[in-house]
């Protein structure tokens, strides 16, 4: 078994490398979504971005143009604030509507064009096990640097997210920093969506952050714990998928959820700092 796993690991080394980088970057993005009480939005955004990529690919647009259009739309979606006084609809309702419409629209569009297999890969399983050197380059030189930028600017982003009035008094241009933050979050999600799929993308946005918060209340601790947990769970999820011939997306979700459950139980026996 050890020899066979070693051979499989050598064959799928790109998948291990990509998921490690992607998971760490998405975990950082997930922290900001949690701060803005947007984890529900974190579920909808990968689905909506996937719908956008499906529509752009069916329209015959090039990959670069498709990514730019979807990136702009996701940034606008994050920045948009509905006027509840006139519409009478909560933000959560709009997010839920976007999620359902995006999922149904993707499946309908793919069914009408007989491209269900491609849609299943994008929406559910992802193509992480078939990761290419280009995927690794995109993750290493785009996704990770964007996540590092989020970490480097975390003090200002935290102030803008949690105490916007104080940030404004301090001379910080709140709306400018919000839009820049939304752009970074959208870019990280869109870059990793193709390889991970919408389901695993949301898993990396959700579980590492929750696991880190279960273990510590220190902000700096959360920012290094969440990517570390995502890194470990991502590698374990890919190993589980290749050893037992399972789809990568659900395997990653299983390990991410397991890491959260372990963190919650472990936190009962450690002093939270």
Q: What is the pLDDT of residue 85?
A: 52
Question: What digits encode the pLDDT tens for the residues 157-178?
Answer: 988 988 888 888 888 898 999 9
What residues contact residue 25 under an 8 Å CB cut-off, 6+ apart?
A: 139, 143, 144, 146, 147, 188, 192, 227
Q: Is 44 a residue whose pLDDT tops 90?
A: no
Mean local confidence (pLDDT), 132-156: 93
Q: Is 221 a residue whose pLDDT tops 50?
A: yes
Q: What is the pLDDT of residue 261?
A: 93
127 by DSSP, 3-state: which? Answer: coil
Cβ count near 268 (within 10 Å): 8
Q: What is the pLDDT of residue 77?
A: 84
Q: Is 220 a residue whose pLDDT tops 60?
A: yes
| CA–CA gap between residue 229 and residue 239 (Å, rounded) | 15
Backbone angles phi and psi of 61, in degrees to 5: -70, 150
| CA–CA gap between residue 50 and residue 59 (Å, rounded) | 14
At 120, is the pLDDT very low, low, confident or very high (cuts 50, 70, 90)?
Answer: low
Query: Which of left, alpha, beta for 272 (phi over 0: left; psi -120 to 50: alpha)?
Result: beta
Higher pLDDT pick, 25 / 103 = 25
Higher pLDDT pick, 138 / 91 = 138
Contact present, 123 and 194 (Cβ < 8 Å):
no
What residues contact residue 259 under an 8 Å CB cut-off, 6+ apart?
A: 207, 208, 211, 229, 232, 233
At 122, is the pLDDT very low, low, confident or very high (cuts 50, 70, 90)?
Answer: low
Q: Where are the domains of the chain?
A: 2-266
The distance from CA 185 to its chain's CA centroid, rounded to whole angstroms, is 8
At 152, is the pLDDT very low, low, confident or very high (cuts 50, 70, 90)?
Answer: very high
Mean local confidence (pLDDT), 248-256: 92
At 227, is the pLDDT very low, low, confident or very high (cuts 50, 70, 90)?
Answer: very high
At 1, is the pLDDT very low, low, confident or very high (cuts 50, 70, 90)?
Answer: very low
Question: What digits encode the pLDDT tens for the residues 51-70?
Answer: 888 888 777 777 788 888 99
Classify domain 2-266 at the CATH superfamily level. Answer: ABC transporter involved in vitamin B12 uptake, BtuC (1.10.3470.10)
At 217, is the pLDDT very low, low, confident or very high (cuts 50, 70, 90)?
Answer: confident
| CA–CA gap between residue 155 and residue 157 (Å, rounded) | 6
Average pLDDT, the chain: 84
- The answer to whether the pTM exceeds 0.95 is no
Q: Is 266 a residue whose pLDDT tops 80?
A: yes
Percentage of the residues of the chain whose pLDDT score is greater than 90: 39
Q: What is the pLDDT of residue 88?
A: 59
82 burial class (0-12, 13-18, 19+ CB within 10 angstroms)? Answer: middle
């Amino acid at each position: 078994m050890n020899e066979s796993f070693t051979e499989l690991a050598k064959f799928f080394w790109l998948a291990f490398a990509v998921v490690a980088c992607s998971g760490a970057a998405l975990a950082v993005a997930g922290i900001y979504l949690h701060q803005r009480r947007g984890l529900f939005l974190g579920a909808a955004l990968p689905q909506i971005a996937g719908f956008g990529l499906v529509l752009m690919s069916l329209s015959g647009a090039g990959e670069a143009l498709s990514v730019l259009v979807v990136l702009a739309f996701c940034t606008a979606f994050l920045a948009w604030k509905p006027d509840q006084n006139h519409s009478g609809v909560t933000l959560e309702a709009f997010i839920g509507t976007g999620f359902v419409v995006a999922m149904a629209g993707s499946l309908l569009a793919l069914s009408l064009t007989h491209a269900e297999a491609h849609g299943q890969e994008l929406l559910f399983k992802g193509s992480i096990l078939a990761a290419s050197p280009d995927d690794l380059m995109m993750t290493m030189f785009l996704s990770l640097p964007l996540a590092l930028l989020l970490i480097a600017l975390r003090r200002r982003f935290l102030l803008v997210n949690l105490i916007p009035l104080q940030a404004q008094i301090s001379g910080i241009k709140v709306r400018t920093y919000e839009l820049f933050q939304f752009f970074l979050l959208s870019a990280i999600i869109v870059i990793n969506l193709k390889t991970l799929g919408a389901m695993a993308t949301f898993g990396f946005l959700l579980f590492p952050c929750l696991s880190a918060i279960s273990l510590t209340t220190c902000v700096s601790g959360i920012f290094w714990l969440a990517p570390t947990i995502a890194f470990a769970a991502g590698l374990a999820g890919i190993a589980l998928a290749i050893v037992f011939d399972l789809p990568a997306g659900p395997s990653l979700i299983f390990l991410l959820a397991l890491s959260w459950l372990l963190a919650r139980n472990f936190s009962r026996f450690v002093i939270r700092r």
